[in-house]
Structure 1
Amino acid sequence: MKRALHIITGLGVGGAERQLRSLIARLPVESEVVTLTNPGAVARELRADGVRVTHLGMAGNRDVGALPRLARLIRRGRYDVVHTHLYRACVYGRVAARLAGVRAVVATEHSLGERVMEGRPLTRGTRELYLATERLGRATVAVSGTVAGRLREWGVPAERIHVVPNGIAARRFRYAGGARAAERARLGVPPDAVLVGGVGRLVPGKGFADLVRAVAGLPGNVRLVLGGEGPLRGELERLAAGCGIGDRVLLPGECEVPALLSAMDVFVSASTEETFGLATLEALAAGLPVLHVTCPAIDELPRQAAPGARRVRGGADALRAALRTEVERAPCRFPVPEAVHHYDIGRVAGRLMDVYEGAQSR
């Protein structure tokens, strides 16, 4: 196998997008990327890595004119494997690959929740379209056992489902005191402040509104930083102002996640429906104490694999109670736990190559 094409819905900063960049750096094949929309920060990073990125310029979910353009691109590239990521790219990419004559099609399901997919409510039509196009591929990758179970419930045959979790390059997130001081200075966080943080797209499913309300009930030396962009930004700013903590809530937008984690004292994943929990693993790799409402990456391992992580109930009141316990302790860093090593990105890339080879051999 020599050439792989990755098709993804967009390349803004998000878990699936960052995971794609990490994987490409470790896959032993020549990889190219097509983004249907939004060639954002991750597209720039991939190009800096030397990866060819093509923006298809898709106008919306019903822009069927993008389909023949994508099929022509696949046909010209003579790829051995086409790998799709995220719902829209999976639907269009599988059809286009079949039109182009490529049979070795693999799709990774990153964001299938119980009630939502990629932040949007699941409908019967969404599921039926997904299942109809799923049959055009040869393998569907689930990023966790939780997602694999949901795919089986939908009706995807078990023999087509392969669990290949997200991976992490732990060294990239290693804590450094110098980076902590520099990032806190950049954010304007006083040295004696306790900085609570979260990372992810600013969308309702991430629970960031509950986190703002939780911090509003904590002492004035507690600050909150939420790294990421999204449609909820303005609403979160108004909520913070209405709670009287507008000056204590920081929304720096798209940023360097390792630097941001170094500045934090406590990491919180307030999402009530995660499919993996990559940001939580990154926080553990940075040595942070972690509170999470749900995180399959941790929940599917023995409890002792992540001693610095604590599962808590969702909602502002429960988050506030859990955070109060954390902020009253002296800030500390934990050793990198076994959970992080379990999801080493090199090991994950090897498992994905096994899926590629199986898809080619069928």
Structure 2
Amino acid sequence: MTRVLHIITGLEYGGAERQLALLLRHMPKDVVECEVAVLTRGGTLAEGIRAEGIPVHEIGMRSNRDVKALPRLVRLIRWGRYDVVHTHLYRACVFGRVAARLAGTPYIIATEHSLGDGHIEGRRTTAGVRMLYRATEQLGDATVAVSPTVARRLRDWGLRPERLVTITNGIDPAAFAFVPESRAATRRALGIAPDEFVVGTTGRLVPGKRVDALIKAFARAKRDGRLLVVGAGPARPALEELAERVGVGGRTVFAGDTGDVAGMLAAMDAYAAPSTQETFGLGVLEALASGLPVLYATCPALDDLPPRMAPGARKLPARLAAWSSAIDSLPQVPLPGAPHGPPPPAVEHYSVHARVHQLIDLYHDGPAAVRPVSDGVLIAKTRAAT
């Protein structure tokens, strides 16, 4: 039995947080025993993880510079005697690697979820940010990139290729399968009529997600309907004010944080992801798993695949005119039906089950569980392939 402590900055709604919750749900408990340490406080996902029987420890860090949290984290790691410490997100990677090294953890790995082009988790990648990242990266044994795009960016930062492992994010296709009853119930709860056309988006409400651009494009579009914004974050008040200012406040539904992403997707007729700074594009894959037509600006998960793998997804430039025109061109839903079709091949390609086995190999075999591929990026191999 391998004991693993996952350290993450927070557990509110977000792609990295949901990905961790998904991996924990599918990790075989007779092979790997997992616990979670959240640096700040438990959010929406914490209770769901606890409900799976997985302990969640709240460290109570108050800010990025709250160094008093470090000894608390070191004590937890020493007390738990974990075989592996696995960190997620920038702050947790910096503090978690230091704490794990001080606690004498045998094996330390990190997953890089959110390294964009010139930013990481919404902050600019200044020289200081890069220097701190590289310095603490040396305290670990391996760094996992969630896409080949992220792996290339990490190499550009100066991380050694032999320390990089590419294990893409995963998705549970069955969890997002379209359910008509869920569509009806979610629409009733949100006050959306059965015959209204709904364009939606999901994700943490921060400037980098460009939900403001989607609101403006929706306001410029000619078709009637609703805009459904799912997620929480510091940008919500400004987005609500923007919707009122451009005249779509009454047609925009801010659903807030939710543990039922599948139900929210079922309530939609199309999905929009206007962010131009994505490291994977998990929301796009979840929408495709629900059978929705998708408009997106950037999605490495799809961009790294042949076009035929996601025929229902349409890539758009960042211009507002392109987005408003695309919204107008979305197919009208025949009442009382919905446009949810079968998931495209891209969804099964990213099935979470293969990712779980790759991580188990990494936990058990360390760097020996990786092999080089043609572009020099390292990827984990599954036991099934060996």
TM-score by length of 2: 0.91
Q: Which of 87, 92, 97 in structure 2 is aligned with 1:89? A: 92
**Is this contact kept in 2: 1:103–1:137, CA < 8 A?**
no
**Pair 1:241 & 2:248 matched:** no
Pairing 1:47–2:58 present? no
Partner residue, 2:272: 268
Deviation at 1:355, TM superposition (A): 1.7
Look up the SS of the partner of 1:168 in the other structure: coil
CA shift, 1:145, in A, is: 0.4
Say if 2:155 and 2:161, in contact at 8 Å, map to a contact too: yes
Tell me which of 327, 333, 340 is aligned to 2:340: 333
Aligned to 1:80: 83
Q: 1:57 aligns with which of 56, 60, 72?
A: 60
Counterpart in the other structure of 1:355: 362
Contact 1:16 1:110 in 2 (8 A): yes
| Counterpart amino acid of residue 55 in structure 1 | E
**Paired residues of 1:6 and 1:32 also in contact (CA < 8 A):** yes
Whole-angstrom CA distance in 1 between matches of 2:344 and 2:116? 27
RMSD value, Cα: 1.4
- The corresponding residue for 1:32 is 35
* Counterpart pick for 2:311 among 307, 312, 318: 307
Contact 1:10 1:39 in 2 (8 A): yes
| Over 4 Å off, 4+ runs | 327-331
Letter aligned with residue 353 of structure 1: I
CA displacement at 1:357 relative to structure 2: 2.2
Q: Is contact 1:75–1:100 with CA below 8 Å preserved after alignment?
A: yes
Paired residue secondary structure (1:47): helix
How many residue pairs get aligned? The number is 362
In 2, Cα distance between the equivalents of 1:3 and 1:328?
A: 51
1:207, CA displacement in angstroms? 1.0
2:210 corresponds to 1:207: yes
Q: What is the CA–CA distance in structure 2 between the aligned matches of 1:27 and 1:172, rounded to whole Å?
A: 16
Q: Is the 8 A contact 1:224 1:250 kept in 2?
A: yes
Change (3 A) 1:23 1:103: same
* 1:131 aligned residue (130, 134, 138): 134
Segments of 5+ residues of structure 2 without an aligned counterpart are 370-386
Q: What is the TM-score of this pair, normalised by structure 1?
A: 0.97
SS at structure 1 position matched to 2:116: coil
Deviations 1:225-269 (A, max 9, x none): 110001111111111111111100110101210000000000011
Identity of aligned residues (%): 52
SS in 1 for 2:168: coil
Structure 1 position 4 matched with structure 2 position 8: no
The one-letter code of the counterpart of 1:289 is P
Q: Which moved more, 1:189-198 or 1:81-90?
A: 189-198
Whether 2:296 is the aligned partner of 1:292: answer yes
Bigger Cα displacement from structure 2, 39-48 vs 148-157: 39-48
Q: Mind listing any 5+ residue stretches in structure 1 that lack a counterpart?
A: none
- Answer yes or no: is 1:280 the counterpart of 2:284: yes
